[in-house]
A and B are shown apart, each in its own frame.
Chain A
Amino acid sequence: MTKMQDAQNRLRETVKDLFAQQKVDLVVGFEAGSLPLRTRVCFLTSADEADRLVWNAFCTNNPAVYIPRLFQRPASPREEYKPPKLGIVAKACDARAVHKLLEEHQAPRENVTIIGMPCRGMACRDKVVIQAGDEVVEAVESTEGAVEIKTRGGASHRFELQDLLQQACLDCPQAAPEHVDVQIEGASRRDTTRRYEGLKNFEAMSADQRWEYFRHELSKCIRCYACRQVCPTCYCKTCFADMAKPRWTGAGDGLSDVMFYHIGRLMHQAGRCVECDACTRACPVGIDLKTFTRKLGKDVERLFDYVPGLRPDEAPLLCAFEDDDTEEFVTDG
């Protein structure tokens, strides 16, 4: 039995306990998906369902995206507000998103039980397909740190998970989720030294090259806003991009409007983006959004020593200031 499966069994037992102790009445976790290299988020309401839960290298989605919705108050004040007692299965990035949402009052702290998962990082689907060189039709995490796949053409491959990790996982600042309510034991990734390595190429570019890269990536955008919809920290009731009064953005998919949306969204993610890369995975046209969110994260960390979601109860970045905040861009006469 692999370590991940150990963790999976422990997770199932823990969830059963949580239901039995009535600490939760709803658990958001992962279940088997319909496609190889995928799992999907599931919503469990009783201990009987706990055996649906899976834990493997394909639990890429960030389940925190469902929190604002699950805790939404009813439209009519006459209706009783019955928030769930939620258990949420969380990787490090998921837990950071949960903390961010708690900090922003999207759910009462006492109603959320964070089930911290041991995480060695998740497999990047694109990397698997590139390495396999063909469509993957079956994938299992077989032994510790390895992924075995079969391709459409009938070939079998075994890859080290380490070589398949998503950029988000390579950049992850945490060896394991922190400030959780229940910690599931298991092997975790320990290497947190490669943070922002993925940015090196981008940062090495000249301003004109960066512009060209940005322009090329954004020229693919069809303005479906999937990046916003899958983002756990994009939950505004009416996004600035959807507002009619004032109408911030133009309607077209021309570059200027597309950039307006993306830079506007990035601004709103400053000090909030937990770098889970849900946006990048969801983008149907494959825009490299992660480079820009990561650049933002790096700036925020450098300028304000602020990493979103690491410290519960910290003040939101842009709703606070320090007297000695950076003045590096203030011009002086």
Chain B
Amino acid sequence: MEKGIIGKSELAKLVEAMAADATCLGPVKDGQDTVLAELGPDTELSFDYANFRLPVKRLFFPQSEVTCVLRDGQLVALPPPDEKTVLFGVRPCDAQALPYLTKIFSDEKYEDPYYLKRRENAVIVSLACHTPCSTCFCTSLGGSPAGRAGCDILAFDLGHELLLEAETEKGKALLAAHEALFAAPTDAQVTAAAEQGAAAEASMAKIETDGITEKADQAFDAPLWEEIAARCVACGVCTYLCPTCHCFGFADEQVGNRTQRVKCQDACMFPLFTLEASGHNPRTTQGQRLRQRIMHKFSYTVKNVGEIFCVGCGRCVLYCPVNIDLREIIEEVRK
């Protein structure tokens, strides 16, 4: 089944049906924010949100997870959680980032089972944005408010009902499994959805990103990095909220009488990130660290895995406490 219409009032039934064999998460109000939270049969879904504060990557690459524990003097690996999940209401920018992360966590030689197993077990239902924020710039980086990259199903909010369009086999299977709850969409509905996506896309300001990789390479030794970083307080918000940032570290800890190794998100904006035990630190200034983050996204990943690791979600722009604006950095670099 490729397309289906479901009334918003019927969603509870769908959630209940899906919950039989999967954990369902969806947009739920928490105070002023909307968070991606586990859905029960009575949970009220929110459709009035720009995006979640935290990127959806955290469900596949959590802030921290135990990878090994010590048993009888020997470290043993803990398996990644093996539960099916359905993520509803993911914004297209966050979904677009997932295939990028898959490229990082799987390669010809080493696979990170913790990320890959979770991704394999998840069905991503993206919800197209009809009113993008002024800080959003996905269309400048190959995305769209109705982008389909990385999702299994793309949903459109048509007011009283949703139109779901399956993108992958996994998505088709999910729709097929709950076929009874869906109606076939009318042509008008499909057209309305497409028009909505196009209108949202047209409403967005575009920033120029042509040639950004070459320009970034050329700007490597430019003074702009230290100039911009003078304000930076090295808080790492930009990296933690970034849908594509994927740096991590390990930390061993003792909890009660259990010794475990924890894989934690880490951030290149911290001075300690590259500090070696000898005291040597290849990146001593905040300018070097900020440059690393930008170069990693706009140059290194392009060379290594063929993608710009920025989806234009605008979180770093919006949440940077000192108003360092990535859009301005891109503009500066391109000068």
Binding site for B on A (CB under 8 A): 33-35, 38-43, 61, 65, 126, 130, 135, 137, 152-153, 222-226, 229-230, 242, 247, 250-254, 278, 281-282, 284-286
Contacts and interface: CB of A to CB of B under 8 A. Distances in A.
Given A126-B32, A250-B253, A286-B31, A65 B323 contact: no
Interface centre among A38, A40, A251, A285 (most CB of B within 10 A): A251
A285 B36 CA distance: 13
Task: Please classify how large the interface on chain B is, using the bins under 10, 10 to 19, 20 to 34, 35 or more.
Answer: 35 or more
B5 to A, nearest CB: 27
Interface stretch (B87-95, B129-137, B296-304): B129-137
A-B interface, 4 closest residue pairs, ranked by CB to CB distance from nearest = A251-B251, A226-B235, A282-B321, A229-B235
Interface string B288-320: 000000000000000000000000000001110
Which secondary structure characterizes the binding site on chain A? loop
Nearest to B325: A34
Contact of B237 (A224, A247, A252): A224
Contacts of B50: 135
A152 B131 contact: yes
A6 B234 CA distance: 34
Nearest to A247: B253
A135 B235 contact: no
Contact of A230 (B63, B66, B233, B264): B233
Nearest to A242: B272
Contacts of A242: 272
Interface in B9-57: 31-33, 50, 53-54
B132 to A, nearest CB: 9
B233 A229 contact: yes
Contacts of A285: 53-54
A35 B323 contact: yes
Interface of B: 31-33, 50, 53-54, 58, 62-64, 66, 131, 133-135, 230-231, 233-237, 240-241, 251-253, 255, 262, 264-265, 267, 272, 317-319, 321-323, 325, 327-328
Interface centre among A135, A229, A254 (most CB of B within 10 A): A229
B235 A286 contact: no
Contact of B231 (A41, A153, A250): A41
A284 B134 contact: no
Contacts of B328: 34
Which secondary structure characterizes the binding site on chain B? loop
B245 to A, nearest CB: 11
A130 B32 contact: yes
Given A34-B327, A130-B32, A251-B253, A135 B322 contact: no
Contacts of A224: 235-237, 240, 267
A281 B131 CA distance: 25
A33 B231 CA distance: 12
A278 B32 contact: no
Nearest to B284: A75
A1 to B, nearest CB: 26
Interface centre among A33, A153, A226 (most CB of B within 10 A): A226
Contacts of B54: 222, 284-285
A41 B32 contact: no
A40 B322 contact: yes
Contacts of A223: 63-64
Contacts of B321: 61, 226, 230, 278, 281-282
A225 B66 CA distance: 21
B134 A251 contact: no
B241 A284 contact: yes
Nearest to A231: B233
B53 A152 contact: no
Contacts of B252: 251
